[in-house]
């Protein structure tokens, strides 16, 4: 009898390679970097090649080159674990974990009104019941249950007016956001339904910056999460050195196009990162080892141990169900952690016992998941912290990676 564990261990590099090679054949400008995280050993796979910014193919005439471009005999290269991709909405997982960490540090409470941490001129809608005002809380922003719309209502018209349809947030500044919020209406009662909201998560980032007295969200994120975790390749604004490792991006038609940049609301989707950093990010969600599992050389100071315990608790809290407030443990419906979507996926039947016990009902497993997309990028991250497995997929084109990611995640998961 073949166990499901043995089935999962059969996952090989060439199996993942075939999946992403099929993707890049279908989308010729695509470059994909993939990391499969598992106890048996991580796998890194890449497909497609790119020409770095500022490098010109050798057959391009000198007249076509700018003064800063130099010919290169072998300009095309494959992505490596330090190549930079846009994360798009996977950024939201960082925002959610930062909220959890600040709650753990008692800087704020998850149930605090979001308006307590936002400029007074930014008017959030609220409800009144029996003379009592019901305000949107921080946790409701993090779980997409605030009732706020998906985007600022005027973002499309603003982008058309400023000719930024392919990069709609690039000029959408604080003044534009203030004007938009003055007319925002709730799509449903606060805290009652899930409605994915870039607006809500973007506002959460501004609130967290205020709570930490940081100049902006990036500064707050670096101070409390990125620097302690040594995620030095994860940034909103790229230094020249990091920029040189960015994989150029292409739109649906295969034409060179920018990834999104943000003048505001960047916490909903503005990060760039690498496979290297995202591997560390995913593994930071694993439960800390027991005392008897720690190496004898692990001699952290008391303050270091306290800080490490706070971060571990924050990651664990981000993976707990925060919406709905009273989840049905047997339900397969979507649940929300803090920034993370907690979804159920069917597991492959692979044992005689499984087939006998659940002949007509597939086994289901709840995992943490987030995908990201702009008009010129795609990302996918999924993990199961209990079994210490995860999948990271990054691409420089906007075509979905979800099917590949879920398929690989199903292969990794084992029955309990």
- What six digits make up the tokens of 360? 């007509």
pLDDT confidence tier of residue 289, bands split at 50, 70 and 90: confident
What pLDDT is recorded for position 160? 97
Ramachandran bin of 283, using left for φ above 0, alpha for ψ from -120 to 50, beta for the remaining angles: alpha
Mean pLDDT score of the chain, rounded to an integer?
89
Q: How far apart are CA 196 and CA 144, in angstroms?
A: 5
| Mean pLDDT, rounded, for 73-91 | 92
Within 10 angstroms of residue 118's Cβ, the number of other Cβ atoms is 18
Tell me the average pLDDT across 31-42. 96
Confidence of residue 72 (pLDDT cuts 50, 70, 90): very low
Model confidence band, residue 351 (pLDDT cutoffs 50, 70, 90): very low
Best CA proximity match to 323, nearest among 315, 333, 314, 313: 333
Distance CA 82, CA 60 (A): 28
Domain 1-86+232-292+369-416 sits in CATH 3.40.980.10 = no
Greater confidence, 374 or 289? 374
pTM of the model: 0.89
Q: Higher pLDDT residue, 361 or 108?
A: 108
Cα–Cα separations (whole angstroms), residue 124 to 131, 134, 216, 280:
18, 11, 20, 36
Q: What is the pLDDT of residue 333?
A: 94
Lowest mean pLDDT among 21-35, 125-139, 269-283: 125-139
Question: Which pLDDT value is given to residue 215?
Answer: 97
What is the per-residue DSSP string for 204-237? HHHHHHHHTT-SSHHHHHIIIIITTTT-TT-BSS
**Is the CB of residue 349 less than 8 Å from the CB of residue 2?**
no
The widest CA-to-CA distance across the chain, in whole angstroms, is 74
Average pLDDT over residues 261-281: 98
Confidence check: pLDDT of 390 > 90: yes
Tokens (6 digits) for 73:
């005999």
The domain spans of the chain are 1-86+232-292+369-416, 108-211
Could you tell me which residue, 173 or 298, shows the higher pLDDT?
A: 173
Residue 302's pLDDT is 64
The pair of structure tokens assigned to 159 is 């982008």
Taking the C-alpha atoms of residue 98 and residue 101, their distance in angstroms, rounded to an integer, is 5
Gap between the Cα atoms of 248 and 377, Å rounded: 10
For the chain, how many helices (H) and strands (E)?
Answer: 13, 13
Report the candidate in 310, 339, 86 with the shortest Cα–Cα distance to residue 208.
339
Please give the share of the chain, as a percent, with pLDDT higher than 70.
Answer: 85
| Omega of the bond leading into 230 within 30 degrees of 0 (cis) | no
Confidence of residue 109 (pLDDT cuts 50, 70, 90): very high
pLDDT at 329: 82
> How far apart (Å, rounded) are the C-alpha atoms in residues 80 and 244?
13
| Alpha-helix runs per DSSP H in 228-382 | 240-243, 275-283, 302-318, 352-357
What are the CA-CA distances from residue 113 to residues 125, 135, 139, 140 (Å)?
12, 6, 9, 9
List, in sequence order, every beta strand (DSSP E) within 67-207. 70-71, 85-86, 127-129, 132-134
Q: Are 404 and 393 in contact (CB under 8 A)?
A: yes
The label of the residue with tokens 């005999």 reads: 73
d(CA 221, CA 376): 25
d(CA 333, CA 156) in angstroms, rounded, equals: 31
- Give the separation between CA 299 and CA 268, rounded to whole angstroms: 37
Q: How far apart are CA 83 and CA 81, in angstroms?
A: 6
Check residues 90 and 357 and name the one with the higher pLDDT: 90
* pLDDT tops 50 at residue 344: yes
> Could you tell me which residue, 208 or 3, shows the higher pLDDT?
208
């Amino acid at each position: 009898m073949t166990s499901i564990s043995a089935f999962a261990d059969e996952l090989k590099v060439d199996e993942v390679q075939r999946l992403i090679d099929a993707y890049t054949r279908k989308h010729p400008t695509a470059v994909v970097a993939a990391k499969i995280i598992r106890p048996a050993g991580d796998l890194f796979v890449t497909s497609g090649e790119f020409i770095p910014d500022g490098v010109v193919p050798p057959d391009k005439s000198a007249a076509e080159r700018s003064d800063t471009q130099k010919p290169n005999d072998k300009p095309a290269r494959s992505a490596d674990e330090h190549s930079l991709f846009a994360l798009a909405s996977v950024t939201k997982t960082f925002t959610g974990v930062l909220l959890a960490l600040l709650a753990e540090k008692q800087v704020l409470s998850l149930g605090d009104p979001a308006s307590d941490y936002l400029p007074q001129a930014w008017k959030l809608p609220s409800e009144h019941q029996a003379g009592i005002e019901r305000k949107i809380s921080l946790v409701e922003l993090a779980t997409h249950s605030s009732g706020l719309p998906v985007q600022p209502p005027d973002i499309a018209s603003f982008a058309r007016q400023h000719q930024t349809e392919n990069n709609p947030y690039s000029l959408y500044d604080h003044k534009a956001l203030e004007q938009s919020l003055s007319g925002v209406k709730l799509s449903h009662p606060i805290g009652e339904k899930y409605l994915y909201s870039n607006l809500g998560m973007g506002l959460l980032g501004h609130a967290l910056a205020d709570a930490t007295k940081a100049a902006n969200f990036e500064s707050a994120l670096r101070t409390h999460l990125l620097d302690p975790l040594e995620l030095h390749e994860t940034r909103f604004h790229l230094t020249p050195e990091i920029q040189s490792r960015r994989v150029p991006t292409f739109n649906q038609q295969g034409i060179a196009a920018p990834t999104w940049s943000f003048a505001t609301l960047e916490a909903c989707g503005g990060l760039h990162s690498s496979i290297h950093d995202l591997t560390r990010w995913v593994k930071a969600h694993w439960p800390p080892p027991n005392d008897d599992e720690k190496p004898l050389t692990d001699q952290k100071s008391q303050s270091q141990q306290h800080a490490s315990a706070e971060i571990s608790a924050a990651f664990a809290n981000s993976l707990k169900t925060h919406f709905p407030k009273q989840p049905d443990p047997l339900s397969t419906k979507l649940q929300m952690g803090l920034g993370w979507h907690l979804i159920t996926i069917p597991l492959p039947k692979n044992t005689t016992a499984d087939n006998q016990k659940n002949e007509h009902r597939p086994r289901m497993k709840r995992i943490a998941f987030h995908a990201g997309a702009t008009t010129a990028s795609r990302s996918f991250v999924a993990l199961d912290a209990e079994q210490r497995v995860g999948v990271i997929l990054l691409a420089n084109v906007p075509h979905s990676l979800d099917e590949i990611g879920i398929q690989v995640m199903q292969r990794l998961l084992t029955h309990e």
